[in-house]
Amino acid sequence: MRLLAFETATEACSVAVYVDGEVRERFGLAPRRHAELALPWADEVLAEAGIAKSQLDAIAVGRGPGAFTGVRLAIAIAQGIALALDRPLLAVSTLAALAMRSEGRADGDRILAAIDARMGEIYLGAFARRGDDIVTLDTEVVARPDAANIPEGDGWHGVGTGFSATEGALPLHLQGRLATVDAAALPHAADVARLGALAFARGEAVAAERIEPAYLRNNVALTLVEQKAARAIR
């Protein structure tokens, strides 16, 4: 199984290649440089792996949620390569990829992945580890961190910048329900590749034109009046 993966939904940019279980990745904090770096990094990891694009079986992409521009960019790049090669695409949740970074490593561990969505909100997803895979426990949402609803129970492993957003409102809201928190973690293309390979084995690859981004939020920007109102209630 040979797969190329892109993840650019946050301030981090990353590209990875998966070859029969081995992963090579380029990762860096590169705000506003994703478009400049993604394709050169793809060429570099492919060269390191010793394979050509024509040898790829599929392309995987982090479909969001995250920054609108970053999500659109990754999908556009992945679709372009997939169409040029006549290869299928695998859309992987950016929150699921982020969940792979949590300290919850044991089978069955429950994970809350959260990304700072700005404007006083977070993108949030609840997951569980199943062997090498991540399974979804609830619908991914965009919400205010001090009003976020999660499945019942405690012992959750928190991961992602959503846990430091709005002065740490989410961990305060979930007092006593978190076993660990890593508020600095960001999603990686390496994990998009690993989850994409598992999805490919399940037969979940689709035609490039069928991939849909997961924006979650309908409004890209708030008006000045809405921003003022949002600040007033925080």
Whichever domain contains 165, its CATH number is 3.30.420.40
pLDDT of 230 strictly over 50: no
- The H or E element containing residue 128 is strand 121-130
- What is the Rg, in whole angstroms, of the alpha carbon atoms belonging to the chain? 18
> Is the same domain home to 74 and 112?
no
pLDDT digits (tens, 9 = 90+) for 61-94: 999 999 999 999 999 999 999 999 999 999 999 9
231 vs 206, residue with greater confidence: 206
Is residue 232, in this structure, part of any structural domain at all? no
217 confidence band (pLDDT: 50, 70, 90): confident
> What integer is the mean pLDDT of 42-62?
98
Interacting residues of 36 by C-beta distance below 8 A, sequence separation 6+: 30
pLDDT digits (tens, 9 = 90+) for 94-147: 999 999 999 999 999 999 999 999 999 999 999 999 999 999 999 999 999 999
Percent of the chain clearing pLDDT 90 (strictly above): 91
Query: pTM of the entire structure?
Result: 0.92
pLDDT digits (tens, 9 = 90+) for 203-213: 999 999 999 99
Q: What is the pLDDT of residue 23?
A: 98
Is residue 223, in this structure, part of any structural domain at all? no
What would the two tokens of residue 209 be? 């034109």
Interacting residues of 115 by C-beta distance below 8 A, sequence separation 6+: 9, 10, 65, 66, 94, 95, 98, 122, 123, 160, 161, 162, 187
Helices (H), ranges, 53-114 = 68-85, 94-99
> Is the same domain home to 18 and 61?
yes
> Is the same domain home to 148 and 80?
no
> Is the same domain home to 89 and 192?
yes
Is residue 118, in this structure, part of any structural domain at all? yes
> Is the same domain home to 176 and 206?
no
Is residue 37, in this structure, part of any structural domain at all? yes
The backbone torsions φ and ψ at residue 13, rounded to the nearest 5 degrees and listed phi first, read -120, 135
How far apart (Å, rounded) are the C-alpha atoms in residues 149 and 156?
A: 13
> What integer is the mean pLDDT of 156-183?
97
- Please say whether the dihedral angle defined by the alpha carbons of residues 22, 200, 67 and 146, taken in this order, is positive or negative: negative
How far apart (Å, rounded) are the C-alpha atoms in residues 136 and 129?
A: 9
Q: What is the pLDDT of residue 71?
A: 97
Domain of 170, in residue numbers: 102-182
CA-wise closest residue to 16 among 54, 60, 51, 53: 60
- Number of independent structural domains in the chain: 2
The backbone torsions φ and ψ at residue 181, rounded to the nearest 5 degrees and listed phi first, read -145, 130
Q: Are 123 and 216 in contact (CB under 8 A)?
A: yes
How far apart (Å, rounded) are the C-alpha atoms in residues 108 and 106?
A: 6
Return the DSSP state at 46: H
